[in-house]
Amino acid sequence: MAVLILVATDADEVFEEVDAALGSASVEVRRIRDGRAVRRAAAELCPDLLVVDLQIGSMGGVAVCLDLRLEEGAGRLDPQRVLLLVDRESDRFLAERSGADRWLAKPVDAGRLADAVHEVLATA
């Protein structure tokens, strides 16, 4: 069974980087462009991992992570694994407060991204 990674970003280059680094016969990478739709997509698709861009125009990555964690805490959503892509290293504070399982500063390279994904998935 393939691993499903849901990428929440409205930036084509971010999705293309993640898809190129992770997409394979055993990893399906899907995209969602609207941060407000992540919760519903997570409930319907049950992804193995959500990769969330900090800068999503409709609802940023921190708000998406907080929304997911609140829904989990209320018992309305199964626990989700979240990798937050931040704009720079100094956004570490935001990433840590968001409840993300792991974070990476953009631009991401394939090796660091793959390592982070494996680390998050190994905590299941």
pTM: 0.94
Question: Which pLDDT score is estimated for 26?
Answer: 92
Whether 78 contacts 39, CB under 8 Å? no
Domains of the chain, CATH where assigned:
3-122 (3.40.50.2300)
Per-residue pLDDT reduced to its tens digit, 69-107: 999 999 999 999 999 999 988 888 888 899 999 999 998
Question: Which pLDDT score is estimated for 124?
Answer: 65
Q: What is the 3-state secondary structure (H, E, C) of the chain?
A: CCEEEEEECCCHHHHHHHHHHHCECCEEEEEECCHHHHHHHHHHHCCCEEEEECCCCCCCHHHHHHHHHHHHHCCCCCCCCEEEEECCHHHHHHHHHHCCCEEEECCCCHHHHHHHHHHHHHCC
Question: Which pLDDT score is estimated for 104?
Answer: 95
pLDDT at 52 over 90: yes
Backbone angles phi and psi of 12, in degrees to 5? -55, -40
Cβ-based neighbour number of residue 118 at 10 Å: 9
Tokens of residue 102, six digits: 């792991």
Question: Which pLDDT score is estimated for 1?
Answer: 63
